[in-house]
Amino acid sequence: AQKITQTQPGMFVQEKEAVTLDCTYDTSDPSYGLFWYKQPSSGEMIFLIYQGSYDQQNATEGRYSLNFQKARKSANLVISASQLGDSAMYFCAMMRRDDKIIFGKGTRLHILP
């Protein structure tokens, strides 16, 4: 079965520290896409970063980078120099062969001043 697993329901990190949010996925498809979304307390879903299964390099977008380890089926999100505004729920997601996108249960990140 295809699924996304986020094992950290909650994390507390000191401001300005780097943080890694874990995501593992399970699929037998050779081609897939991996996403990270941020959901602040206001509720909207904000796209952060995308990694294609055939991409040779890890994706980066500003302070966000995706540590993609294909053999381990992991797609961890790394946020460098965390800020108070990074406090939110973070969802890892995967687009399957049938074009459906499935989400993990999320990790709630708290940045401490």
Partner 1 sequence: DTAVSQTPKYLVTQMGNDKSIKCEQNLGHDTMYWYKQDSKKFLKIMFSYNNKELIINETVPNRFSPKSPDKAHLNLHINSLELGDSAVYFCASSPSQRERTDTQYFGPGTRLTVL
Q: Which is nearer to partner 1, 1 or 99 (CB)?
A: 99
According to the binding rule CB under 8 A, does residue 10 interact with partner 1?
no
- Distance of alpha carbon 18 from alpha carbon 5, whole angstroms: 21
The DSSP bridge partners found for residue 73 are none
Q: Tell me, what amino acid is at 23?
A: C
Q: Which stretch binds partner 1 (CB under 8 A): 18-26, 38-46, 57-65, 79-87?
A: 38-46
- Distance of alpha carbon 51 from alpha carbon 84, whole angstroms: 26
DSSP state of 83: -
Q: Which is nearer to partner 1, 17 or 29 (CB)?
A: 29
Contact residues: partner 1, CB under 8 A: 31-33, 35, 37, 39, 42-47, 50, 52, 89, 91, 93, 95, 97-103, 105-106
